[in-house]
Amino acid sequence: MENENQLKDNTLSVFLISYPQKELDINTQIIEIIGGKKLITDDTIKAKREMDLEKLNINNLFSESNILFKASRYAFVNVDNIDEEINNKIYVLRNSTRDFTLLNIIIGPFVDLNLEGAIGEIQSLTQSLTGVFRRTEFQKESEIIADINQKIEIKRNLEKLSKFYNWQIFEEGSLREKSEDSEITPMITSAFLVRAQIIKDRMKCMGECQRIYSKDLTPEGVKCECGGDLVLIPPDLNLEEISFVYPEDLVEIVGENNVESPSRLFKYLQKSEIPKELLSPFSQFSVLKLTNLITVPSKVKFQVKATSDIIDLTFGYKKQESDEILIFGFITDTRYSDSRLISSESLNKIMNAIFANLTDQTAWEETIRKTDLEKWKVTPFVKIKYIEKYPSLLDTHAIEHRGAGNE
């Protein structure tokens, strides 16, 4: 019991909600920070942080397309100390209905939040709030209640529902199982390695303009030109080069129409990164020490809108000397079951082999040859800024013939 309370007190759970205020054509936002007694010591700090978060445009974070962002887990890497183990993880869950967009962010020292289960709970929580919304909307139209009452009611119900949600995580433990049995075993369709540059020591204006200053362009003093306070923000990653690994028959397996171009594959990775604007308000919780930490995705779940199939990204990383980090990842997909693909059951084994053998960028292909993906094709490294130039994975191999320059 004591352990559970410890965990609860050291975990921050935040809900961000956005819903339309029809007659005014604007969105109302509700922010609710729950728990984290050890992290938030008094109510004024809590109120201040809720105000920071209210500035976010919630609808635009992880915005929708035919592939929906559902849930993710991120790990932290200390920029200055490679070997330091950071206990905290960050989880992001998202759900949207016709009227509502809801984000739940959890930062806490545990690794076993069951993403599938949590998505289900978040969906049920959103549905419940839509009911409150629909009822209060009706009452507003019949002039029984005013706008502000609607917001109060939604907030009050969110508080209750989120307590139940947190109870399932911390006390009952039903959302904390290791196994994530899904009905269908997904297949690995491709893998990639990205080289990224770490950018640190940047400042952000917390006032009107929200501008970000790089290290050498930071104005004198602690104020922005607009008069806002400047704060140090967490380091970021600049993704520079990428190499893809894929089965030779990919086109045949997934069909002409579904084959992913390099830029479309890269989009998954891009969408897996935690949005900067979401992270910077959290760096204001100084206890989290986010200003020294890079946030690296470790698991991201997407859902194919049309068929509810699941596309998972699973990541690992290797920090290099200097300000570089190598991030490798695998895309698994429930849409395909071709025997020429490799089942996701081998994923752990492959990941372990890569952790053990990948020393630097040049060892990538050689490392892949030591895994179950040994027969797959490995593309040369493509500069990300030119990725649009390659209509298909096959086209990237031309770089080899032309030499290193891929401009």
Give ∠ CA 71-276-351 in degrees, rounded to 5: 50
Asked if residues 276 and 204 have their Cβ atoms less than 8 Å apart, the reply is: no
* Binding of residue 115 to Zn ion (CB under 5 A): no
Among 47, 51, 144, 209, contact with Zn ion (rule: CB under 5 A): 209
Least separation in angstroms between residue 11's CB and another protein is 17
Report the alpha-carbon distance of residue 49 to residue 156 in Å, rounded. Answer: 19
Shortest distance, position 177 Cβ to another protein, whole Å: 9
Residue number with CB closer to another protein (163 or 264): 163
Taking the least distance from each CB to another protein, the nearer of 135 and 385 is 135
Say how far apart CA 181 and CA 314 lie, in whole Å.
16
**Residue whose CB is less far from Zn ion, 90 or 203:** 203
Out of 228, 261, 346, 395, name the contact with Zn ion by CB under 5 A: 228
**Judged by CB, which is closer to another protein: 34, or 224?**
34
Interaction partner, residue 145 (another protein, Zn ion, none; CB < 5-8 Å by kind): none
Name the burial class of residue 122, with classes exposed (0-12), middle (13-18) and buried (19+) by CB atoms within 10 angstroms of its CB. buried
What does 226 interact with, of another protein, Zn ion, none (CB < 5 to 8 A by kind)?
Zn ion
CB atoms within 10 A of CB 59: 16
Nearest in space to 237 (alpha carbons), one of 361, 316, 312, 326: 326
Q: Which entry of another protein, Zn ion, none binds 142, CB below 5 to 8 A by partner kind?
A: another protein
Distance CA 288, CA 36 (A): 11
Q: How far is the CB of 352 from another protein (least distance, A)?
A: 22
Query: Taking CB under 5 A as the rule, does residue 226 contact Zn ion?
Result: yes
Q: Which of 16, 39, 107, 224 binds Zn ion (CB under 5 A)?
A: 224
Task: Work out whether 205 is an interface residue with Zn ion (CB under 5 A).
Answer: yes
In the numeric block, the tokens 């949005």 are attached to: 275
Class of residue 277 by CB neighbours under 10 A (exposed 0-12, middle 13-18, buried 19+):
middle
Pick one of another protein, Zn ion, none as the site partner of residue 224 (Cβ within 5 to 8 A by kind). Answer: Zn ion
Residues that bind another protein (CB under 8 A): 124, 127-128, 130-132, 134-135, 138-139, 142, 157, 160-161, 163-164, 167, 171-174, 183
| 231 makes contact with Zn ion (CB under 5 A) | no
Closest to Zn ion by CB, 173 or 227: 227
Contacting residues toward Zn ion, per CB under 5 A: 205, 207, 209, 224, 226, 228
